[in-house]
Amino acid sequence: GAGVSQSPSNKVTEKGKDVELRCDPISGHTALYWYRQSLGQGLEFLIYFQGNSAPDKSGLPSDRFSAERTGGSVSTLTIQRTQQEDSAVYLCASSLGQATFNQPQHFGDGTRLSIL
Amino acid sequence: AQSVTQLGSHVSVSEGALVLLRCNYSSSVPPYLFWYVQYPNQGLQLLLKYTSAATLVKGINGFEAEFKKSETSFHLTKPSAHMSDAAEYFCAVSHPNTDKLIFGTGTRLQVFP
């Protein structure tokens, strides 16, 4: 498809387990972003990849959160030892990048993560 | 530092009425501003963006927004609400020197028949 694809769309797991969330950006987009959207809240920036530059991890809430982007395309967000407060919708977005400052971000439909 | 404030977490209007969703920004540099819409169980979709070319920006679905530097505002309007406009709306400002966006907390629009 032409849009940003995220998988799984829903994930239910037990507290303490590790989870991996996947994002396939739009082909040719060099910038990729992860956000967290908790119930009734706005979008919380987590991490930003731009080309081959070191990622901006300034939004990761704890060291249990990490993300990789392999080959400049697919990205995985990993949450280790999940806690109930990690329950949220995790959104991925991509953009053309190149630091043009005005390129819109294109969002996937998100992964709804529920921690029991 | 960049930030946006959306006044009113919930706005309710009747079908056919004017829609006004408020957004004020704070920016240390001339800002780029965006409005996104999120329908239930979906990601965000770009409605419109301001990139300094024109202060009145027209977007999809009949929405428009006006950039007012003197008021540091970028309010979203639509002359006549439709039931299909019911969604959550997010204002965002771009971070200097990157494509990062700083989002507001969102405004949920309800449209009553």
Write out residues 56-115 of A within 8 Å (CB-CB) of B: 56, 91, 93, 95, 97, 99-110
- Spell out, as residue ranges, where chain B has pLDDT lower than 70: 95-99
On whether the CB atoms of residues A89 and A80 are closer than 8 A, the answer is no
Residue B42, pLDDT score:
86
Residues A4 and A43: their CA atoms lie apart, in Å, by 17
> Which residues of A are less than 8 Å from B94 in CB distance?
101-102
Residue of B nearest to A95 (CA): B99
Cβ-Cβ contacts under 8 Å for A68 (sequence gap 6 or more): A75, A76, A78
Residue of A nearest to B10 (CA): A40
Per-residue pLDDT tens over the stretch A29-71: 989 999 999 876 778 999 999 888 889 999 999 999 999 998 8
Q: What is the mean pLDDT of residues A16-31?
A: 94
Residue of B nearest to A112 (CA): B41
Q: Is the pLDDT assigned to residue A103 strictly greater than 90?
A: no
Residue B48, pLDDT score:
93
Which residue, among A37, A90, A86, A47, has the nearest Cα to A67 in the 3D structure? Answer: A47
Tell me the nearest-neighbour CA distance from B80 into chain A, angstroms.
26
Among chain B, residues having any CB pair with chain A shorter than 8 Å are 9, 32, 34, 36, 41-46, 49, 51, 90, 94, 96-106
CB contact under 8 A, A56 and B105: no
Residue A87, pLDDT score:
96
Environment class of A28 (CB within 10 Å of its CB; exposed 0-12, middle 13-18, buried 19+): exposed
Residue A61, pLDDT score:
94
CB contact under 8 A, B98 and A4: no
SS3 B84: helix
CB contact under 8 A, B99 and A108: no
Cβ-Cβ contacts under 8 Å for B11 (sequence gap 6 or more): B19, B20, B21, B107, B108, B109, B110
On whether the CB atoms of residues B103 and B42 are closer than 8 A, the answer is no
pLDDT band at A101 (very low <50, low <70, confident <90, very high): low
Cβ-Cβ contacts under 8 Å for B54 (sequence gap 6 or more): none
**Average pLDDT over chain A, rounded to an integer:** 91
SS3 A116: coil
Tell me the nearest-neighbour CA distance from B25 into chain A, angstroms.
15
- Token readout for B68 is 């007012």
CB contact under 8 A, B105 and A41: yes
CB contact under 8 A, B46 and A105: yes
